[in-house]
Structure 1
Amino acid sequence: MAFNPLEHRGIPLEKQVRSWRELNIDPIDPDNADPYTRCRVITMNGIEVEAALFNHHLNRVCADMEVKQKLAEVRYIEQQQQKAVNWLLPGQSSVLETTLAYEQVAVDLTGWVARMEPDPYLKQAYEFGLLEDFDHLYRYANLFEMIEHRKAEEIVDGLTEVMPGRPTIQHHRHPADNLNEPYDRTTAAPLSKLHALTIMAAEQQTMNYYMNVGPQYMEPIARSLYQEIGMVEEEHVTHYESLVDPGETWWERLVNHEYNECYLYHSFMETESDPRIKAIWELHLNMELAHLHVACDLMRTYDGRDPESILAPELPTPVTFEPNKQFVRDLLATQIDLTKLGTGYVWEAHERFEKIQRELMGGHPPASEEVITEHRDRMGGDYRLETEGPHPVERLRD
C-alpha cells in the first residue's frame, strides 16, 4: 500500500527523548546476522550523521532564536538515533571487518540506486563510482586475509563478489574532474533528489570512517591503503554532492533531508529480516515523520512555499539491499576504462589526469597495487570471490 509521510504525524517531538537505558541497544550478532542487516545499519548511520551535520550548518546561518531552538530539538533526537543505530555494530568486529561491510554497502546500495535512477546523467555518475568502490572491496579483502588471516567471504557471504574493478590507481584525478553537473531542482524527479542525498551521505560516512581509523593500524601497508582510499572517498563525496542543485533553499534542503530519512527507514522496515532491528527502523520512522512536519512548517513560513510542490505524493519503491552481481559484471565489461574530464566522462587518459598521476605516484606504485603484489608473494595469488564465473574483463581479454 502506498505510504505518504505527509499524512502521518508520527511520535510528537516532545515525546521522543530516550533514556540511556533505552539507547543502549544490544548489537547485532557478527557471526549470524544477515550481512544486509549490517549494511542497513551502516547506511542509516551515515544518513543520521548527515542529518545532524546539515542541521548544524543550518543552525550556523540561522539568526531566528525560535527556529534555532526547534532545530536543536530535532538535532538532539537525530543524534540519539545515530547513537542507537551505530551502536548496533558489534564491538568485537575489527576495523577491517567493518571496512569490508562499508564497501559492501557502497557496492550494493549504489548498484540498486543506479538501476533505479531515471536520469541518464545521474545514473552514469552512480555507475562510475560503483566500479571504484567495487575495486576498494577487492583491495581491502586482500589486506584482510594478510592481516587477520580471514576471508572476505565471511563478511559478504557470497552476496557481493570480490574481484578487481576499475583499478584504484586510476581513481586519483585532478580535483576539478570530480565535479558533476547538478540536477535541476525545478525539473528533477523527486526520486533523483533522494538518490543523490542517500549516496552522498553514505560516501561521506565512509570518508569520515577511513580518515579516522586508518592511523590505528601498525602495519605500514594498512596505514598506506587507508590513506590512499581515504583520498578517493574525498573525491567520491565531491562527485556525489555536486549532483545536488545548489539553488535549493536551506528550507527546501531540510525538507528533502527529512523526507529521505522517512523514505529509508520505511524502506528498511519493509525489507528487514531481523524482527528486533525491524522494530528499531519502525520506531525511528515514527520519529522522522514528526521531524518532517517540523521541516515542512519551516518551509511554509520562511520559503512561502508548500512542501507538496517539491515532494513525491508517496514514497517510492523501497530501497532494497540485494545482489547486483550481473549488473556490476556488465559495467565491468563496458565501463572499466572510463574516466572524468570536467563534468563529463571520457575513455582516454588526458593531460590533467596524467599530470596528477605523476605527482601522486612519485615513481612508486601506490598501496592499492602493493597490497595485491604482497598478497601474491605471500600466498601465491590474489584473493577473489567470484561466484558467477571468470572476471568479465579478463574473459574478454582471453
Structure 2
Amino acid sequence: MTFNPLEQRGIPLDRQLRNWRELDVAPIDPDRCDPYTRCRIITMNGIEIEAVLFSHQMARHCPDQDVRRQLARTRYIEQQQQKVVNWLLPGVSSVLETTIAYEQVAVDLTAWVARMEPDPYLKQAYQFGVLEDFDHLYRYANLYEMIEHRKAEEIVQGLTEVMPGRPTPYHHRDAVDNVRDPYDRDRADPLSKLHALTIMSAEQQTMNFYMNVGPQYMEPIARRLYQEIGLVEEEHVTHYESLVDPGETWWEQLVNHEYNECYLYYSFMEQEPDPRVKAIWELHLGMELEHLRIACDLMRRHDGRDPEQVVAPRLPDVLTFEPNKEYLRGLLDTQIDLTTLGAGYVREAHERFEAMQRTVNSDGGPPSELVMEQHQHLYGRDYRVESAGRPA
C-alpha cells in the first residue's frame, strides 16, 4: 500500500495537547516484551529528541517571531511525545540493561539501513560504524555479567548475536578522520536522507545517554567503560552527521525531520505486536502528519519551494527491526580491519591513527580491555552465547 504523508490529514495542532493522565503511560514489561518493541521505543526517543534539539537550534537562528512562535507550539507537542515514548521504558530495568538495549538498537538498526542504503559511499559508512557498535554490545555484556551476574542474552533474546566486533580500542581515531563527505542534497535518493537523519539521531541519543548515566556507577571499571564508549559515540555522531548536506536550508531540514518522523512512526505502527504501544505509534503518526503539513507550509512561504522537490512522493518500504546475523558475520569477515583516513577508509594503520592510539590508550590501557581482563579473571572466559549451532 502506498502512503504519501504529504496528502494525509493529521490531527489538528490545537487537539494534540495532552494532560498529565494521558502522558502517564504504563511502561512495558521487560520480562515479557518483544525485544524489538524496546528497540523501537529507544529509536523513537532519539528521533523525538533530535526533533526538539533541531527546533531549538532553528529558533535561535530565526529572526521571524511568527515562525519562532510556530516552532515553539509544535516543539512542545514533540516534547510531550518524547516523554510518552521514553517513559515506556521500565524503571525496574537497570542502566546496564537499558544500555544493552541501546546497543541492540545500534546494531540492528544500522545493519538494516546498511542493507537498504542505495548509495555505495553511504552504505560503507553504515557498514563501518555497525561493526563498532557490535563490539560495544559485547563489551557491555561482559560488564553486565560481572556487575549484575546476568546474561545479555536475557535482553536481546537471541535476535542479536553477542560476540566481538572491531575491537573497541581501535575505535579511537583522530577527529579529522571521522568527518565523511556529505551526500548531495540535489542528487541524493530521498531514502538516503532519511537513513542519515535516523542513524545520526539514534547515535546522538546514545552519546547523550552515556554522558549522563556513566557517572552514576560506583564501580570504577563501569565508570571507565562508559567514558570510553561515550567518546566513541562522539566519533560516531561526527561520522554520521557529516553525511548530511550542510547546504540544506533550515526549511528543507525542518521538512526532512518531520517527514522522517512520519516514516518511522508509520513503519513501527505496521510491525508493532504490542497493541498498547502500537496505539501510541498510530497516535503520534497522526500528530506528525500535521507537523509535516505545517513545515511544508513554512517551506513554501519562506523558501519558495514545494516540499515535493526534496522528499519522496510516498513513504519507502517500512524500516524493519529484524535479525541481521549473517549480514554482520559477512562484514566481520571482510571489514573488521578497516580504519578511516580523511573521508575514506584504509586497512593500514597511519600516522594520525597511531598517534591517537599512543595517546589515549597509554597509561593503564583502554577500559574496554580492562573489562575483558577482569571478566577473564572472574570467570576464566569472556562472555559468549551459543548461536547458530556453534560457539559465537
TM-score by length of 1: 0.98
Equivalent residue number for residue 255 of structure 1: 255
Cα distance, 1:389 vs structure 2? 4.9
Instruction: Tell me how far 1:247 sits from its aligned partner.
Output: 0.3
* TM-aligned CA distance change 1:288 to 1:297, over 3 Å: same
Cα contact 2:46–2:205 (8 A) shared by 1: yes
Pair 329,318 (structure 1): closer, same or farther in 2 beyond 3 Å: same
How big is the shift at 1:242? Answer: 0.1
- Provide, for residues 23-63 of structure 1, a one-character-per-residue CA deviation record: whole Å limited to 9, x for no partner: 00000001000000000000000000000000000000111
How far apart are the structure 1 equivalents of 2:263 and 2:86?
A: 19
* Alignment RMSD (CA, Å): 0.9
Partner of 2:2: 2
Equivalent residue number for residue 396 of structure 1: none
Matches within 5 A, 1:160-309: 160-309=160-309
Cα distance in 2 for residues equivalent to 1:364 and 1:349: 22
Q: What residue number does 2:369 align with?
A: 369
Shift of 1:363: 4.0
* Cα separation, 1, equivalents of 2:295 and 2:143: 44
1:339 aligns with 2:339: yes
- Label 1:334 to 1:389 Cα distance change in 2 as closer, same or farther (>3 A): farther
Partner of 2:130: 130
The answer to whether the 8 Å contact 2:117/2:195 transfers is yes
Which region of structure 1 is more displaced relative to structure 2, 42-51 or 1-10? Answer: 1-10
Q: Following TM superposition, by how much is the alpha carbon of 1:311 offset from its aligned partner in structure 2, in angstroms?
A: 1.0
Aligned to 1:19: 19
Q: Distance in 1 between matches of 2:389 and 2:185?
A: 42
- Name the SS of the counterpart of 1:340 in structure 2: strand
In the alignment, residue 374 of structure 1 is paired with which amino acid?
Answer: Q
User: Secondary structure, in 3 states, of the residue corresponding to 1:345?
Assistant: strand
Instruction: Count residues with an aligned counterpart.
Output: 392
Displaced runs of 4+ in structure 1, greater than 2 A?
388-392
Q: Are 1:352 and 2:383 counterparts?
A: no
Does the Cα contact within 8 Å between 2:385 and 2:391 map onto a contact in 1? no
- 1:111 partner letter: A
Partner of 1:104: 104
Amino acid at match of 1:228: E
Q: Distance in 2 between matches of 1:110 and 1:321?
A: 10
Deviations 1:270-313 (A, max 9, x none): 01011110000000000000000000000001100000111101
Runs of 5+ consecutive residues of structure 2 not aligned to the other structure: none
Aligned-residue offset at 1:81:
0.1
Q: How is 1:77-92 mapped onto 2 (pairs within 5 angstroms)?
A: 77-92=77-92
8 A Cα contact 1:163 1:386, kept in partner: no
Distance 2:215 2:201 in 1: 23
Q: Percent identity?
A: 74
Residue aligning to 1:120: 120
Deviation (angstroms), 1:365? 1.7
| 1:82-130 deviation digits (Å, cap 9, x = unpaired) | 0000000000000000000000000000010000000000000000000
Whichever residue aligns with residue 280 of structure 1, its letter is I
Shift of 1:386: 4.3
**Secondary structure at 1:6 match in 2:** coil
Q: Contact 1:106 / 1:130 at 8 angstroms: preserved in 2?
A: yes
TM superposition score normalised by structure 2: 0.99
Give the CA deviation at 1:218: 0.3
- Structure 2: which amino acid aligns with 1:149? H
Post-superposition shift, 1:9?
Answer: 1.7
For residues 184-232 of structure 1, what are the alpha-carbon distances to aligned partners after superposition, in whole Å with 9 as ceiling and x for unaligned?
0000000000000000000000000000000000000000000000000
* Secondary structure at the counterpart of residue 247 of structure 2: coil
Aligned to 2:379: 379
Q: Secondary structure at the match of 2:68?
A: helix
What residue is the counterpart of 1:155 in the other structure? 155
Q: Is the 8 A contact 1:162 1:386 kept in 2?
A: no
Deviation at 1:385, TM superposition (A): 2.3
Q: 1:131·1:165 contact (CA, 8 Å) conserved in 2?
A: yes
SS at 2:6 equivalent? helix
Distance (Å, rounded) in 1 between the aligned partners of 2:389 and 2:126: 25
**Residue aligning to 2:49:** 49
Tell me, which stretches of 5 or more residues in structure 1 are unaligned?
Answer: 393-398
| Contact residue 384 and residue 391 of structure 2 kept, 8 A | no
